[in-house]
């Protein structure tokens, strides 16, 4: 006779950020315990989870324990494993011509958003919104200051070469076109950009491909609550186009140990970049590259969600204007430009110049040409 093991089994922890997640199996339940060193963040996450779960599919939160040095949130564990369970894994699946799983997922995702946004959208003052990723990071003493206040970042490998502050004088060339980019003005624009009323809705706030589960569920509730609609869109788009397939796995590879296919796809998701300097002016050329799955996810999201939301809440040019500051914050306030290889830094600076240019077009920025927009 087999004696059932009545003690919980605790598996190897997963580490994505500074939180640790321990899979736990009890005879009745499959759980995951998220240990968070910051009690305030854990409180925000529990609050976000309560709000989000009323509107979106999300695993149950069974209990919250405050211990010295950590708060532990114990969630129902969804069936994730090596290279499966996240949108990331769907995006990493080699393209065999069958897009039905990704298309069905994107349809479900965008339908869910539209349903919730239609019911919860409001023009809200900044104080009603979650501040973590944008307002707080741009505020004095926030992440922008932490990264950049005392650091005029070099734009060449030479110690005496051009620096960020020189761009106000020289501008830069991106794929052959000259752009102005005044770094100090950009920072002060961002400081003020999150202080006016905006269209908002209840959302998870950080919909990256590692925070979206398959079958559809939202994970990670630190920014869940009332968020800017434009911020939610900018976040998904930039994460799918740049962060998820290239920047994050390159700069934070340990977060992907359970998703090794991410590294197989890395070459296909790495832009081609070449840079040179002429009379102190940087010249940056890049060609974005993305797997067909990532392109397809972007164009489905754009067609099924961003376009109808833009028509409803941001008529005319208002949508590009609304996206700009959120996109700029994803470009410079996720990773510190100082702590990355030079060509990656210059690529992001080129993207910042495109996003702040007078003729900024989100469709061009994300390379959403008609040929990539699916018809079905
Ligand atoms: N309820 C869950 N069930 C299964 N896996 C989960 C669950 N919650 C989180 N995970 C896994 O852990 C990863 C990190 O969780 P997340 O809550 O996003 O932590 P962090 O705040 O560190 O980003 C997720 O990308 C997912 O792979
Ligand atoms: Mg996360």
Q: Which residue has the higher pLDDT, 370 or 258?
A: 258
Give domain status of residue 1, yes or no: no
Give domain status of residue 81, yes or no: no
Cα–Cα distance for residue pair 114/31, rounded to 1 Å: 30
Cα–Cα distance for residue pair 134/153, rounded to 1 Å: 22
Number of domains in the chain: 2
Average pLDDT (37-50) is 96
Bridge partners (DSSP) listed for residue 281: 278
Instruction: Examine the pLDDT at 213 and tell me if it is beyond 80.
Output: yes
Task: Convert the pLDDT of each residue in 47-99 to its tens digit.
Answer: 999 999 999 999 999 999 999 999 999 999 999 899 999 999 999 999 888 99
Task: Retrieve residue 30's tokens.
Answer: 């499959």
Residue whose CA is at the smallest distance from ligand 1 atom 16: 220
- The predicted structure's pLDDT at residue 372: 45
Buried b / exposed e across 50-69, counting CB within 10 Å, b at 16+? ebbbebbebbebeebeeeee
Cα–Cα distance for residue pair 152/328, rounded to 1 Å: 18
- The predicted structure's pLDDT at residue 269: 98
Give domain status of residue 229, yes or no: yes
- In the block, which residue shows the tokens 């069936």? 79
The strands making up 177-179's β-sheet, listed across from edge to edge, are 177-179, 172-174, 281-287, 272-278
Q: Which of 89, 213, 255, 262 to mutate to test ligand 1, by most ligand atoms within 8 A of the CB atom?
A: 213
Instruction: Look up the CATH number of the domain holding residue 317.
Output: 3.90.1200
The confidence band for 373, taking pLDDT boundaries of 50, 70 and 90, is very low
The confidence band for 370, taking pLDDT boundaries of 50, 70 and 90, is low
Question: Do the bridges between strand 30-36 and strand 70-76 make them parallel or antiparallel, or are there none, so unpaired?
Answer: antiparallel
Q: Are residues 270 and 341 located together in one domain of the fold?
A: yes
pTM: 0.95
- What spacing in Å lies between the alpha carbon of 214 and ligand 1's midpoint? 12
Task: List all residues whose CB is within 6 A of at least one atom of ligand 1.
Answer: 14, 16-17, 19, 21, 32, 34, 59, 75, 77-78, 80, 86, 210-211, 219-220
The closest of 302, 348, 305, 346 to 328, measured between CA atoms, is: 348
Give domain status of residue 263, yes or no: yes
Task: Retrieve residue 325's tokens.
Answer: 């500051």
- What spacing in Å lies between the alpha carbon of 304 and ligand 1's midpoint? 26
Q: Are residues 147 and 215 located together in one domain of the fold?
A: yes
Q: Are residues 163 and 29 located together in one domain of the fold?
A: no
Q: Are residues 233 and 355 located together in one domain of the fold?
A: yes
The alpha helices in 134-200, defined as continuous H runs, are: 135-138, 143-148, 167-170, 183-192
Average pLDDT (176-181) is 97
Q: Are residues 286 and 255 located together in one domain of the fold?
A: yes
Q: Are residues 297 and 365 located together in one domain of the fold?
A: yes
> Which ligand lies nearest the alpha carbon of 18?
1
- What spacing in Å lies between the alpha carbon of 328 and ligand 1's midpoint? 26
The confidence band for 369, taking pLDDT boundaries of 50, 70 and 90, is confident
The closest of 358, 350, 171, 166 to 274, measured between CA atoms, is: 350
Q: Are residues 303 and 278 located together in one domain of the fold?
A: yes
The closest of 238, 300, 299, 293 to 264, measured between CA atoms, is: 293
Residue whose CA is at the smallest distance from ligand 1 atom 21: 220
> Which ligand lies nearest the alpha carbon of 22?
1
- The predicted structure's pLDDT at residue 10: 83
Q: Which of 21, 205, 212 to mutate to test ligand 1, by most ligand atoms within 8 A of the CB atom?
A: 21
The closest of 229, 185, 245, 201 to 326, measured between CA atoms, is: 229
Task: Convert the pLDDT of each residue in 124-160 to its tens digit.
Answer: 999 999 999 999 999 999 999 999 998 899 999 988 8
Instruction: Examine the pLDDT at 226 and tell me if it is beyond 90.
Output: yes
- What spacing in Å lies between the alpha carbon of 32 and ligand 1's midpoint? 8
Distance of CA 37 to the CA centre of its chain: 22
> Which ligand lies nearest the alpha carbon of 16?
1
Q: Which of 16, 216, 260 to mutate to test ligand 1, by most ligand atoms within 8 A of the CB atom?
A: 16
- What spacing in Å lies between the alpha carbon of 268 and ligand 1's midpoint? 25
**Dihedrals phi, psi of 141, to nearest 5 degrees:** 85, 0
Distance of CA 196 to the CA centre of its chain: 23
Give domain status of residue 4, yes or no: no
* Contact present, 208 and 223 (Cβ < 8 Å): no
Residue whose CA is at the smallest distance from ligand 1 atom 14: 16
- What spacing in Å lies between the alpha carbon of 82 and ligand 1's midpoint? 13
Instruction: Look up the CATH number of the domain holding residue 55.
Output: 3.30.200.20
- In the block, which residue shows the tokens 């908002």? 200
User: How many other CB atoms are found less than 10 A from the CB of residue 173?
Assistant: 20
Q: Are residues 275 and 347 located together in one domain of the fold?
A: yes
Q: Are residues 94 and 224 located together in one domain of the fold?
A: yes
Task: Retrieve residue 182's tokens.
Answer: 């005044």
Give domain status of residue 3, yes or no: no
Bridge partners (DSSP) listed for residue 31: 24, 76
- What spacing in Å lies between the alpha carbon of 21 and ligand 1's midpoint? 7
Cα–Cα distance for residue pair 203/224, rounded to 1 Å: 6
- What spacing in Å lies between the alpha carbon of 267 and ligand 1's midpoint? 25
> Which ligand lies nearest the alpha carbon of 255?
1
Give domain status of residue 82, yes or no: no
Instruction: Examine the pLDDT at 36 and tell me if it is beyond 60.
Output: yes
- What residues have a C-beta under 5 A from ligand 2, the ion? 211, 220
Determine the structural domain holding residue 232 and report its residue range: 87-372
Q: What angle do CA 32, 238, 330 make, to 5 degrees?
A: 85
Residue whose CA is at the smallest distance from ligand 1 atom 2: 77
Q: Which residues contact 231 (CB under 8 A, 6 or more apart)?
A: 133, 134, 205, 326
Q: Which residues contact 177 (CB under 8 A, 6 or more apart)?
A: none
- What spacing in Å lies between the alpha carbon of 223 and ligand 2's midpoint? 10
Task: Convert the pLDDT of each residue in 313-322 to its tens digit.
Answer: 999 889 999 9
Q: Are residues 265 and 244 located together in one domain of the fold?
A: yes
Cα–Cα distance for residue pair 116/229, rounded to 1 Å: 11
Task: Retrieve residue 84's tokens.
Answer: 């499966």
Q: Are residues 117 and 54 located together in one domain of the fold?
A: no
Angle, helix 229-238 to helix 318-332, in steps of 10 degrees: 50
Q: Are residues 71 and 121 located together in one domain of the fold?
A: no
């Amino acid at each position: 006779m087999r004696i059932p093991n009545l003690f919980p089994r605790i598996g190897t922890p997963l580490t994505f950020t500074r939180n640790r997640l321990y899979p736990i199996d009890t005879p009745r339940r499959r759980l995951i315990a998220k240990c968070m060193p910051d009690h305030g963040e854990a409180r925000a996450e529990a609050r976000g989870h309560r709000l989000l779960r009323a509107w979106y599919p999300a695993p149950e939160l069974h209990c919250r324990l405050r211990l010295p040095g950590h708060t532990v949130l114990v969630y129902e564990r969804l069936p994730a494993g090596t290279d499966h369970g996240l949108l990331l894994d769907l995006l990493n699946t080699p393209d065999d011509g069958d897009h039905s799983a990704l298309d069905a997922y994107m349809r479900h995702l965008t339908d869910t958003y539209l349903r919730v946004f239609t019911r919860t959208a409001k023009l809200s003052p900044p104080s009603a919104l979650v501040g973590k990723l944008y307002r707080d990071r741009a505020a004095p003493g926030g992440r922008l200051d932490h990264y950049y206040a005392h650091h005029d970042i070099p734009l060449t490998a030479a110690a005496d070469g051009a620096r960020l502050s020189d761009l106000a004088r020289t501008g830069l060339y991106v794929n052959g076109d000259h752009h102005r980019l005044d770094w100090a003005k950009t920072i002060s624009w961002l400081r003020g950009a999150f202080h006016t009323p905006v269209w908002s809705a209840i959302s998870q706030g950080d919909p990256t491909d590692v925070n979206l589960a398959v079958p559809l569920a939202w994970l990670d509730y630190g920014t869940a609550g009332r968020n800017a609609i434009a911020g939610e869109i900018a976040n998904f788009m930039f994460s799918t186009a740049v962060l998820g397939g290239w920047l994050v796995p390159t700069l934070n590879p340990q977060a992907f140990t359970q998703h090794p296919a991410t590294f197989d796809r890395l070459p296909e998701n790495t832009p081609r970049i070449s840079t040179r300097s002429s009379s102190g002016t940087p010249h940056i050329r890049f060609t974005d590259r993305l797997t067909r799955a990532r392109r397809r996810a972007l164009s489905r999201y754009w067609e099924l969600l961003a376009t109808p939301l833009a028509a409803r809440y941001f008529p005319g040019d208002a949508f590009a204007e609304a996206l700009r500051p959120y996109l700029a914050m994803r470009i410079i306030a996720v990773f510190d430009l100082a702590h990355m290889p030079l060509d990656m830094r210059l690529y992001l600076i080129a993207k910042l110049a495109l996003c702040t240019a007078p003729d900024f077009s989100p469709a061009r920025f994300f390379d959403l040409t008609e040929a990539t927009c699916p018809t079905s």
